[in-house]
Amino acid sequence: MRERDVHMRCLQGSVLETYDIVKELAKDGGKWAALERKMHNRFFRDPPLLRFRVKDPFARSVLKAYAHYFIAVLTGQTEETVLPVLLRSLTSVLGADPVGDIDESESRLTVAFAERGLHFLGGRTSPYLGPYIWERTVERTYTVDLPDGSEELTVYLLSGFLMRSWLDFATFGVLGTGGWATDEGLFCVVEAYEKHGGLGAESFRVSFLKHEAQHVADYRKFPRLEAADLEYRAKLMELVYARSRRALRQFVREAAPKRELPHAFASHALVGGLSSKIGRECMLDVPLPIVRRAALQLYREHTERLQIAGADTVDTVL
């Protein structure tokens, strides 16, 4: 079993199932015993063993505050219990008067990190809060072709990460967000693609550029569309242009019928749709051209349902 496959359980927002599996595998020693020690020291040791590669006391304090929040929610504590603790910690670090909510704290953190020559992006990577904090940004422009037209996109290549939200923390960097889209453009986490062939490989050209370009198009066409539908359409676009089975295998592994987890739910809907077209049993074995045609058909059908429901007001049809 690959370490990546074991860590896929973390996509559902918990390390508990992964830890149980790793403990069983660790009985044979080797890499699994080493991973068990790492997980124990990070998630179940008191105090947790945390290492940060930045020396600045302010940055280290912020990283520590979010790390403790990650540990709590990833081991089963509720956000209602944990968020007040995080808010108190951030208020203390900022040295400011008490703030009303996390949004205000993170707005102040954005300014404070900028003063130190660093970038901070707060907010939520569903289902949890979790910032992205990095050192360097390089701007490039790409033209990306999609079935319904092309998108000219500004891409910001981000590197030198100090924190990459909760999934990266949960899996020791094995999994994590490869990028995101906003009104400003696309933001690409360069290190997420370096391990898969760099910016010339399919992981970047398709899994990032095509995926995120589809988001940009959909933000414009369907402004109220929910995250699960957005992810469903972008994942289908990855399959429409796939030249390997890497993305399809990942979608099958991460699929879960949990709407509160948009990525997992979108993969669940995608796998169900493909099953109806080509059969679940042979999905990973059929020739890729068949997979690509089925994915495009599912994309067209979903687009039609959205248009019938009303492009300006529809939130979901999944």
136 versus 182: which is more confidently predicted?
Answer: 136
pLDDT digits (tens, 9 = 90+) for 33-45: 999 999 999 999 9
> Which residues span the domain enclosing 253?
222-318
Q: What is the pLDDT of residue 79?
A: 92
Interatomic CA distance for residues 58 and 212, integer angstroms: 33
Does 226 map to a domain? yes
pLDDT reading at 236 higher than 70: yes
Instruction: Give the tens place of pLDDT for each residue, 118-140.
Output: 999 999 988 899 999 999 999 99
Report the 3 state secondary structure along the chain: CCHHHHHHHHHHCCCHHHHHHHHHHHHHCHHHHHHHHHHHHHHHCCCCCCCCCCCCHHHHHHHHHHHHHHHHHHCCCCHHHHHHHHHHHHHHHHCCCCCCCHHHHHHHHHHHHHHCCCEEECCEECCEECCEEEEEEEEEEEEEEECCEEEEEEEEEEEEEEEEHHHHHHCCCCCCCCEEEECCEEEEEHHHHHCCCHHHCHHHHHHHHHHHHHHHHHHHHCCCCCHHHHHHHHHHHHHHCCCCCHHHHHHHHHCCCCCCCHHHHHHHHHHHHHHHHHCCCCCCCCCHHHHHHHHHHHHHHHHHHHHHHCCCCCCCCC
In a domain, 278, yes or no: yes
pLDDT at position 155 is 94
Residue 167 placed within a domain = no
Give the pLDDT confidence of 59-86 residue by residue, as tens digits.
999 999 999 999 999 999 999 999 999 9
Instruction: Confirm whether 282 is domain-assigned.
Output: yes
- Each residue of 190-200: pLDDT tens digit? 998 887 788 88
Q: What is the pTM of this model?
A: 0.77
The answer to whether position 9 is within a domain reads: no
> Is the pLDDT assigned to residue 302 strictly greater than 70?
yes
Would 103 be classed as within a structural domain?
no
Asked whether residue 238 is assigned to any structural domain, the reply reads yes
For residue 99, pLDDT beyond 80: no
Q: What is the domain count for the chain?
A: 1
Q: Look over the chain and give the mean of its residue pLDDT values, rounded to a whole number.
A: 93
Could you tell me if residue 70 is inside a domain? no
